[in-house]
């Protein structure tokens, strides 16, 4: 750790015997095994898989009411990719969560992401205890979760690195395991003895039966300065690259951007491999602790995990949306609109969206990612986008397309404003369905109300905005030789897009 960072950290430690708690949420990843709901541009952490709230929204609220002895800062630290920033900011706004959103120029796994968050906290003059949570996990017993975190915070305040280990409910071969060492006095903690890679079925059964192993959850609790000391010791290249990237941090609308060149040069490594597996050694100089967590945790990694978490009928079925079941058992059916009728099905997953349908056996859901890989190789859009695409100003739904034309339903939020732009290859016709539109077309600026329309010729500079207090809805008919989204030349944009 450099001298300036170390001095700031030590001063913070002397002032704060019990440091404030900060939620650090790592919101990268694409969740390909939950296709077709999870897409590259709208991944599983943004989806309401288990209820009305998305996984990100539930995670951001998970520490509310942690403990009177451990004040939790209202401002969360979110580290995410550039492409998801507007959706993440909007979802947090919807549930009233304040956040500092740090943008990764490129994905470099969880260790660099956490290092950016820790540097940001130390730079602001504090040495908070970080509760590090992936954005895409689920917890059904929030009170039990907070109790375990409160125990972990006590150890972290003493400079220890804490993992939350999941009390296993079955012999799972898809998770890594943690072997518990000697119990510690008070607070329900254990020394971390060692990590175990994903085991065979026979070994997993032995681990669960012994009571000496927990699942590796990816949940960590530690002071910001403790993490920076560990990452500097074990992965100095990651530390140096993140420090350099952090020096170039700048504000962009509601986001914090770090230096792109420095972070792009950073090695890619997970928290486990970079630090946690090394601090388990007695010679490490760090104290690694495991606190058990028994709170209905799930990584919601594939469709069988979603089915497992949700309440079922007497025959083991889960039905979401417009679904009819007849003689079905252990079936998961999710409809985004169209009727799904399952007759005599058993151990099946059926997921319908406007542009794709998945049918899979429970035993094969891990292979959904292979389908996503094939779609990408064949240049299909279904791996990246839903038919409805969200933008910072609202969204659009591509409702029809053919040779030389495309039809979209566009919704613009109150106060929303599209970029001032033009297209080389297409003309557009707009028909207002609901609300009021302000249209810029060349040197003209005018209002359109319901049932009124206008035409934007090819090559004409134009802009659409909603000056009203209700959503603006319109139908856009595009015509031309090339209708892809990259045919946009932006001259001005409220949201900092190039």
For 391-409, the pLDDT digits (tens) are 999 999 999 999 999 999 9
Is residue 193 classed as helix, strand or coil in its secondary structure?
Answer: strand
- Considering the domain architecture, whether residues 84 and 211 belong to the same structural domain is answered as yes
Whichever domain contains 184, its CATH number is 3.90.550.10
Question: Mean of the pLDDT values across residues 124-128?
Answer: 83
- Considering the domain architecture, whether residues 401 and 460 belong to the same structural domain is answered as yes
pLDDT number for residue 285: 78
The answer to the question of residue 363 being in a domain is yes
Question: Mean of the pLDDT values across residues 425-454?
Answer: 97
The answer to the question of residue 323 being in a domain is yes
- Considering the domain architecture, whether residues 111 and 216 belong to the same structural domain is answered as yes
Of the two residues 451 and 66, the one the predictor is more confident about is 451
Among the candidates 319, 344, 377, a domain finishes at 377
Token output for 361 = 């056996």
pLDDT number for residue 70: 66
The answer to the question of residue 303 being in a domain is no
Task: Name the band, by pLDDT with cuts 50, 70 and 90, for residue 252.
Answer: confident
Cα 273 to Cα 199, 270, 404, distances in angstroms? 17, 5, 51
- Considering the domain architecture, whether residues 402 and 348 belong to the same structural domain is answered as no
Of the two residues 30 and 450, the one the predictor is more confident about is 450
Task: Name the band, by pLDDT with cuts 50, 70 and 90, for residue 2.
Answer: very low
Helices (H), 158-300: 201-210, 224-234, 236-247, 260-264, 271, 277-279
- Considering the domain architecture, whether residues 252 and 202 belong to the same structural domain is answered as yes
- Considering the domain architecture, whether residues 157 and 207 belong to the same structural domain is answered as yes
Q: Give the residue carrying structure tokens 């859009």.
A: 381
Of the two residues 286 and 112, the one the predictor is more confident about is 112
| Alpha-carbon span 237 to 233, nearest angstrom | 10
- Considering the domain architecture, whether residues 31 and 84 belong to the same structural domain is answered as yes
The answer to the question of residue 366 being in a domain is yes
Question: Mean of the pLDDT values across residues 456-478?
Answer: 97
Q: DSSP assignment, residue 209? A: H
Question: Mean of the pLDDT values across residues 258-268?
Answer: 96
DSSP strand E in 354-483: where? 356-361, 388-391, 394-402, 405-412, 420-422, 426-434, 437-441, 444-448, 453-456, 462-465, 472-480
Whichever domain contains 478, its CATH number is 2.60.120.10
Mean pLDDT of the chain: 92
Query: In the beta sheet, which residues pair with residue 190?
Result: 183, 290
Task: Name the band, by pLDDT with cuts 50, 70 and 90, for residue 253.
Answer: confident
Question: Mean of the pLDDT values across residues 181-196?
Answer: 87
Task: Name the band, by pLDDT with cuts 50, 70 and 90, for residue 20.
Answer: confident
Query: In the beta sheet, which residues pair with residue 439?
Result: 446, 464
Cα 370 to Cα 44, 349, 373, distances in angstroms? 17, 16, 5
Give pTM, 2 decimals. Answer: 0.89
- Considering the domain architecture, whether residues 363 and 266 belong to the same structural domain is answered as no
pLDDT number for residue 185: 77
Task: Name the band, by pLDDT with cuts 50, 70 and 90, for residue 186.
Answer: low
| Weakest mean pLDDT among 21-30, 59-68, 309-318 | 59-68
The answer to the question of residue 498 being in a domain is no
- Considering the domain architecture, whether residues 393 and 354 belong to the same structural domain is answered as no
Q: The domain containing residue 231 runs over which residues?
A: 3-298
Among the candidates 358, 377, 396, a domain finishes at 377
pLDDT at 3 over 70: no
165 with 290: CB under 8 angstroms?
yes
User: Is the backbone peptide bond immediately before 80 cis, with ω within 30 degrees of 0?
Assistant: no
Strand 213-223 and strand 161-166: pairing?
A: antiparallel
Total domains present in the chain: 3
Residues in contact with 91: Cβ distance below 8 Å, sequence separation at least 6, in sequence order: 46, 54, 56, 57
pLDDT number for residue 69: 65
∠ CA 50-53-56, nearest 5°, is 95
- Considering the domain architecture, whether residues 217 and 361 belong to the same structural domain is answered as no
pLDDT number for residue 18: 64
The answer to the question of residue 25 being in a domain is yes
- Considering the domain architecture, whether residues 35 and 128 belong to the same structural domain is answered as yes
288-325 confidence digits (pLDDT tens): 999 999 999 999 999 999 999 999 999 999 999 999 99
Question: Mean of the pLDDT values across residues 372-390?
Answer: 94
Residues in contact with 361: Cβ distance below 8 Å, sequence separation at least 6, in sequence order: 347, 348, 349
- Considering the domain architecture, whether residues 413 and 291 belong to the same structural domain is answered as no
pLDDT number for residue 68: 54
Task: Name the band, by pLDDT with cuts 50, 70 and 90, for residue 13.
Answer: very low
Among the candidates 263, 298, 333, a domain finishes at 298
Percentage of the chain beyond pLDDT 70 is 95
pLDDT at 92 over 50: yes
| Alpha-carbon span 222 to 133, nearest angstrom | 12
pLDDT number for residue 8: 37
212 with 203: CB under 8 angstroms?
no
């Amino acid at each position: 750790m450099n001298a300036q960072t170390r001095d700031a950290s030590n001063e913070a430690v002397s002032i704060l015997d019990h440091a404030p708690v900060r939620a650090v949420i790592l919101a990268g990843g694409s969740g390909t095994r939950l296709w077709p709901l999870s897409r590259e541009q709208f991944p599983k952490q943004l989806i309401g898989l288990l209820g009305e709230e998305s996984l990100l929204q539930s995670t951001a609220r998970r520490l509310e009411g942690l403990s009177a002895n451990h004040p939790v800062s209202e401002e969360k630290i979110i580290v995410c990719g550039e492409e998801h920033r507007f959706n993440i900011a909007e979802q947090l706004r919807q549930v009233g969560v304040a956040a500092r959103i740090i943008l990764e120029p490129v994905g470099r796994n969880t260790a660099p992401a956490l290092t950016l968050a820790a540097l940001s906290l130390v730079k602001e003059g504090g040495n908070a205890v970080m509760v590090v949570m992936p954005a895409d996990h689920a917890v059904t017993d929030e009170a039990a979760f907070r109790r375990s975190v409160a125990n972990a915070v006590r150890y972290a305040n003493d400079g220890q690195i804490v993992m939350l280990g999941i009390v296993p409910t079955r012999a799972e071969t898809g998770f890594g395991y943690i072997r518990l060492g000697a119990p510690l006095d008070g607070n329900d903690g254990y020394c971390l003895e060692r990590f175990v890679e994903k085991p065979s079925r026979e070994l997993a059964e032995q681990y669960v039966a012994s009571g000496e192993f927990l699942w590796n959850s990816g949940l960590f609790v530690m002071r910001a300065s403790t993490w920076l000391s560990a990452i500097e010791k074990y992965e100095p290249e990651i530390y140096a690259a993140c420090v350099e990237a952090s020096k170039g941090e700048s504000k962009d609308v509601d986001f914090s951007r770090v230096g792109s060149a420095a972070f792009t040069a950073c090695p890619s490594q997970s928290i486990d491999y970079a630090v946690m597996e090394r601090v388990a050694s007695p010679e490490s100089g760090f104290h690694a602790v495991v606190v058990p967590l028994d709170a209905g945790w799930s990584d919601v990694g594939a469709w069988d995990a979603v089915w497992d978490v949700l309440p079922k009928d007497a025959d083991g079925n889960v039905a979401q949306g417009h679904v009819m079941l007849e003689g079905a058992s252990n079936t998961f059916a999710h409809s985004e609109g169209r009727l799904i009728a399952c007759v005599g099905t058993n151990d099946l997953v059926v997921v319908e969206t406007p542009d794709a349908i998945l049918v899979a056996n429970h035993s094969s859901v891990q292979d959904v990612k292979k389908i996503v890989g094939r779609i990408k190789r064949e240049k299909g859009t279904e791996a990246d986008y839903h038919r409805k695409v969200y933008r910072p100003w609202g969204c659009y739904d591509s409702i029809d397309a053919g040779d030389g034309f495309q039809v979209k339903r566009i919704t613009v939020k109150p106060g929303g404003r599209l970029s001032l732009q033009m297209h080389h290859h297409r003309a557009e016709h707009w028909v207002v369905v609901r609300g009021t539109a302000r249209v810029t077309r060349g040197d003209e600026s005018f209002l359109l109300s319901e049932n009124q329309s206008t035409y934007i010729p090819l090559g004409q500079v134009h802009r659409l905005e909603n000056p009203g207090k209700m959503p603006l809805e319109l139908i856009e008919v595009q015509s031309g030789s090339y209708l892809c989204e990259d045919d946009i030349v932006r001259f001005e944009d409220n949201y900092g897009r190039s």
